[in-house]
Amino acid sequence: MELHGWGRYPRQEAHVAEPLSGQQCLRAVPGASPLIARGQGRSYGDSALGPKVLSTRYLDQFHDFDPQTGVLSCAAGVSLDDILRTLVPRGWFLPVMPGTRFITVGGAIASDVHGKNHHRDGTFSAHVASIRILLGNGECVDASPTDKAELFYATCGGMGLTGVIVSAVLRLKAITASDILETRIKTPSLDAVLEAFDANAASAYSVAWIDCMARGSSLGRSILVMGEQCTEGPLVAQQAKALGIPVDMPAGLLNRAVGKAFNAAYYGRTRSNAQPSRKPFESFISPLDAISGWSSLYGRPGFLQYQFVLPKESGGNGLREILQRIGQSRLGAFLAVLKLFGDANANPLSFPIKGYSLAVDFKAEAATFELLDVLDGIVAAHGGRLYLAKDARMSEAMFKAGYPRWQEFEEVRARWHAHGKFMSTQSRRLGLA
């Protein structure tokens, strides 16, 4: 069947196995050809594509939950949405939530996802007690920071290339209310928003919506959104009642003119309010989940999301250069998100490092590919890297420059029988075995 990622580019024919249980999973691996695991397929590019794909859709059971400690044990195919709907009403939250809740636990670990609270709470794996992994030799092992630590660290952010994540034990966070108290600040320039990030470092959650099409003195104008967990109020997780976009929109719908107008309107109508307002956590943390299938607004050719991080020291200059380049191009850039990350962790392929991360969408057309190659040069020159979970086209050289511990990662994979067993279209492109 034809598969694709969230950006709908690229598309690829795959043989998909859908094991019904952990036992069936075991039989899928020692086969001849390499495979890659796939959760909900929400990575943007080709991280979960390959000739042979193992879907975890039926590995979706909870195993155990301790209401005293908040420790949850579950199969890797359980979605974050399922965890939230089951446990938020009982006063438990995920310590790290990315911009969508429709991903699996396995996917969250494999991409080592981050959220709007990265600067304080780190990545998803910081709250994972242990992982059960099916290795390339058919053996199933448990790895944690204290047992087979190198395998644990390589798997968190390892894009499924160390083995199939079968189940995990997570530490949830106790909450007394599910709403988030949101404050917005309008910042008229790039310098202003970078200063605002520093000034508001004590916020639990912070992220900026940035207008990538603004130029000149308005370059980098943004809306900084901050959040704090409410301590009083209801404990509610809404059933996803999403506005669907059932068919591919015409490819020309989201063009430059539309993008400029949308960004300007969004920026313009937002009032910078010093008064915090209470929001359901879904609309604060994952607002786009309300529009199911929003990626089809980009039409059949699909889109590319370019997400990079630059170290903080030179990050401001790098960002300025990149924003100028994007502005100069004739390409519509929508839904751009800027975040100041906290410290990096010990994982060789985990994306966040201390600095500025920008995520921006482009239509998947020829001019975009040219622009992104140019932007790669700027990111590399500043010592930054791209996010593998969003990537659909980065070169091997760009990957190895951005992730200098790639060799260590390959050595760990070799020791744990992963070479030639777990490969994706992305990993082949990046020159991994």
Partner 1 sequence: MTRILIIGATSAIAKATARRWAHEGHELYLVGRNLDHLHEMAGDLKVRGARSVECAALDVNDFARHAAVIDAAAVALGGLDVALIAHGTLGDQKVCEQDFQAALQELNTNAISVISLLTHLANRFEAQKQGSLVVLGSVAGDRGRQSNYVYGTAKSAVATFMQGLRNRLHKSGVQVLTVKPGFVDTPMTAAFDKKGPLWSTPDVIAQAILRGIARRRDVIYTPWFWWGVMTIIKSIPERLFKRLSL
Residue numbers of the site for partner 1 (CB under 8 A)? Answer: 1, 18, 20-21, 58, 61-65, 72, 74, 86, 246
For 187, other C-beta atoms within 10 Å of its C-beta total 20
27 vs 63 by CB, closer to partner 1: 63
246 vs 252 by CB, closer to partner 1: 246
Q: How far is the CB of 20 from partner 1 (least distance, A)?
A: 6
Contact 107, 42 (CB under 8 A): yes
Q: How far is the CB of 108 from partner 1 (least distance, A)?
A: 18
Contact 208, 225 (CB under 8 A): yes
172 vs 180 by CB, closer to partner 1: 172
Instruction: Give the number of residues written for the chain.
Output: 433
64 vs 198 by CB, closer to partner 1: 64
1 vs 32 by CB, closer to partner 1: 1
Q: How far is the CB of 61 from partner 1 (least distance, A)?
A: 4
Q: How far is the CB of 89 from partner 1 (least distance, A)?
A: 9
Residue 375 in tokens: 């932007």
305: left (phi over 0), alpha (psi -120 to 50) or beta: beta
Q: How far is the CB of 87 from partner 1 (least distance, A)?
A: 8
Using CA atoms, how far apart are residues 268 and 262, in angstroms rounded to an integer?
10
Q: How far is the CB of 75 from partner 1 (least distance, A)?
A: 9
64 vs 232 by CB, closer to partner 1: 64
2 vs 232 by CB, closer to partner 1: 2
Q: How far is the CB of 110 from partner 1 (least distance, A)?
A: 22
Contact 337, 210 (CB under 8 A): yes
20 vs 261 by CB, closer to partner 1: 20
- Backbone φ and ψ for 44, nearest 5 degrees, come out as -80, -30
Q: How far is the CB of 299 from partner 1 (least distance, A)?
A: 18
Q: Crossing angle, helix 312-328 and helix 190-199, to 10 degrees?
A: 150
